[in-house]
Chains A and B, each alone.
Chain A
Amino acid sequence: MKGENSMSASQKPGLWTARSSRLTPHGFLLTLAALLLAVPASHAAKIGDLSETTLAVQALRFFTFQDPSVRYALAGSILLGISCGMLGSFIVVRKMALVGDALSHAVLPGVAVGFLWNMSKDPVAIFIGATIAGLLGTVVVRLIQQTTRLKEDTALGLVLATFFAAGICLLTMIQRLPTGNKSGIDKFLFGQAAAIGPGDVKLMAIVTLVAFAIILVFYKEFLVTSFDPAFARVAGIPAQVFHYVLMLLLAGAVVIALQAVGVVLVSAMLITPAASAYLLTDRLSRMVWLSAIFGLLAGALGSFLSFLGPNLPTGPFMVLGATAVFVLAFLFGPRHGIVIRGIRRRSRASRVQRENTLKSIYHVLEGRDFKGDGVSLRELAERRRETVEEAARQSRELRRHALATLHEEGNLIFLTPDGWQLACAIVRNHRLWELYLTNAAQIAADHVHEDAEKIEHVLGDEVVREIERRLANATRDPHGRPIPSLSDMQRGGATSERSPASVGYGKRT
């Protein structure tokens, strides 16, 4: 079991550190390792009838790869993970995730018919039968959508359940036959990686390679038809043809996965790795790669876990492996993860808070014509209409960011040069924007304050320069107050040597 964890953990760092420059990699990897450790551990705890020694023995058997059945199972799981992950990314970006679900249920009657062809689990016959049934299912879905007023979801659910029911009927009929009972065809429902044989692995390798080659050759066409069907039509790309090529490849991927994952859960192997990849990147090519890797990991993990105990189905473990990856990406994704977005939102909120405090300090200073240096907590609190405690908290926050220094037991706030510069910049943004709105957008002067309150925190240098240019370097805002100039900002916090022409001596009107 240790080996599995270290293997997965050693494969992941390269992948993640390459992508997550903003995230601290150490904390992330620790969480990842902890979760990977937790999965087998909690699983082991659940198996009451197996003692620890047999678990370890089973795990050892798995990693020494002496058993040919282990080699086939692992190779098969990895291949199916790759092909499902790769093709799944296309259906996820096309918002067709549940087509994969319908397709995977619809192949069941084809499996049964393929089995009946020569009454054995001939991989090729089953593959052909199932692929045809899957394609037929997607065609029926399209037809129902085109010729009735039923919507896509209804058509999908309808085809999925009816085809599946037909398959179940056939399966129960086969099991009634004298030869059918021990055929192991019921393993197609939940999957058993141990049932994968050399013939299956060969077929899986062929299907995966073909899918890979087709995607490589027609990558551009798949990209365009996925994101911009109208443009594809203009460019002369037959979108219908590529739709059905994709469906054919998907049916192939689903069918080779049946043996190990089972009919019911194959759709998860299509959707979940691709959705995890979708959370981590914006480029389709990277998404396809990531998704294939996630599929591979989930496949390997699932075949390993189901090998540990007798009669454990493989499919559900693979699905849970894929879900674990998704949960990690959902929470800790470097760009769209919940955690990182929460942190970003909080840091933005505290930055706005700091800037507002600086602005209030500026206003206090301005109110007494910039005479005297420090601003007392009481003045700040009055200005912001807050309690003194709140003002004290904010002043400490400023000190923490080296924007101000505190004197007289924290009662007097002095801005540092950086703080002064930032305070001027915010006030300047605010007043410039007010002036711009009144002059250029002709909004009444008493309506512009609210808008400026919001935008002052997000105006960039370039926009400020552009506004200044358009306003011909105006010096006063619509309310008659002076707009701090660049030279005021560079002067720093010291107010004693302020020249009369500059900001400090403009009287309020």
Chain B
Amino acid sequence: MTTLIPAFDFHRVFIAPWTSDLSSHGWTVLMGFFVAAACGLVGNYLILRRMALVGDAISHSVLPGLVVAFLLARSRHAIVMFLGALVAGLLTTLLIEVIHKKSRVKQDAAIGITFSSLFAVGVILVSLFASQVDLDQECVLYGEIGYVSTDLPVSIAGVQIGPATVIRMGMVALITALLVILIYKELLVSSFDPALAFSLGINATVIHYGLMCWLSVVVVSSFESVGAVLVIAMLILPGATASLLAHRLPTVLLLSVLHAALCSVLGLHLGLWLDCTVAGAMVVMGGFLFGLAWVFSPSQGLLRRWLWMRQSPTGEGEGEAG
């Protein structure tokens, strides 16, 4: 039992990653931030549209898309992977719709059936072609964010910038941020008030499928570093935490990016201390931050509600519902 939690070494956990080991851990933190920020921004809209579990579904079903794309094209080029993920993501959305619309099965069960079947196909393919796919079952589940710094570096005009995966994820995060700014109004209106969106001439179906496509792209580029299940945490945690702290969408979006930064830094330290998978530790820290927001949120935290209930003894709780 004593070896389970290693002795706490302040220098190893807090100082070394920012000084002597910066070249490797720096990239890990940056990758974690890019993943959490890109996922968090998209995830905010999933939460608003009550589609958090569609995100869950897509993050699972991207796996067969990746494997099939790889087996067909025999290449690990980013474009091939994105295409595979796009097809898988759209297929998932379509299958859920078909099952839900054409039978009496409710949407939640349709989601569960779709993603588990597709994921099962993916896992079987991985285990049959393990030697060729260069993915193993564990990596599928929790990724290998700790190894991003060993990835092949990208160089532009002779200057080495950094590992290819990190640069690619950075681009995806940047494009996500740009998209959110550029079509801010369309996303906002179609998420909150589909009827108004329709009357303004915004095509809700296009927005819906566009969001799903972009979600697939974000998920697949995060996949290698955090795996299928932890992506869900990255999608939901930043947005959920931020929406406990603020009410206006721009503030919520900014807060979720802040949450992403915090959980990647804190997660690295936790992972180093406990010597466990860094991606998992990042999510645990994200969950911890959510817990803090849940208890201490100034407008709707548990503490606030408790104080409020004590001040008005007649209120019998539940009066504050927001």
Contacts and interface: CB of A to CB of B under 8 A. Distances in A.
Contacts, number: 216
Interface in A311-341: 311-313, 315-317, 319-320, 323, 326, 330, 336, 338
Given A97-B109, A98-B53, A265-B119, A162 B300 contact: no
- Among B119, B284, B305, max chain A CB count under 10 A is at B284
Interface in B40-74: 47, 50-53, 55-56, 60
B287 interface: yes
A100 interface: yes
B116 to A, nearest CB: 3
B128 A165 contact: no
A338 B322 CA distance: 43
Interface in A135-151: 144, 147-151
A36 interface: no
Given A154-B240, A165-B280, A319 B116 contact: yes
Contact of A312 (B104, B105, B106, B127): B127
Interface stretch (B20-28, B231-239, B254-262): B231-239
A264 B60 CA distance: 10
A168 B142 contact: yes
Given A186-B138, A323-B117, A275 B236 contact: no
B4 A177 contact: yes
Contacts of A271: 109, 112-113, 116
B302 interface: yes
A312 B120 CA distance: 12
A278 B275 CA distance: 46
A487 to B, nearest CB: 46
A274 B116 CA distance: 14
B141 interface: yes
A153 B48 CA distance: 11
B274 to A, nearest CB: 6
Contact of B229 (A98, A164, A326): A164
Which secondary structure dominates where chain B touches chain A?
helix
Q: Interface size bucket, B side?
A: 35 or more
A160 B290 CA distance: 14
Contacts of B282: 165
B84 interface: no
- Among A151, A158, A271, max chain B CB count under 10 A is at A158
A149 B237 contact: no
A270 B109 CA distance: 10
Interface in B196-250: 228-230, 232-233, 235-237, 239-240, 243-244
A116 interface: yes
A168 B141 contact: yes
A170 B283 CA distance: 13
Interface string B270-300: 0100111101111110110010001000001
A195 to B, nearest CB: 15
Contact of B120 (A174, A279, A315, A326): A315
A186 B136 CA distance: 12
A173 B4 contact: yes
Interface string A271-315: 110110011000000000000000000000000000001011101
Given A47-B128, A279-B105, A154 B47 contact: yes
A162 B219 CA distance: 17
Given A160-B56, A265-B119, A317 B124 contact: yes
- Among A92, A97, A165, A265, max chain B CB count under 10 A is at A165
Given A158-B233, A274-B109, A317-B124, 5 more contacts: A149-B243, A165-B284, A186-B138, A264-B228, A313-B127
Interface of B: 1, 3-5, 47, 50-53, 55-56, 60, 99, 102-106, 108-113, 116-117, 119-121, 123-124, 127-128, 137-138, 141-142, 228-230, 232-233, 235-237, 239-240, 243-244, 271, 274-277, 279-284, 286-287, 290, 294, 300, 302, 305, 322
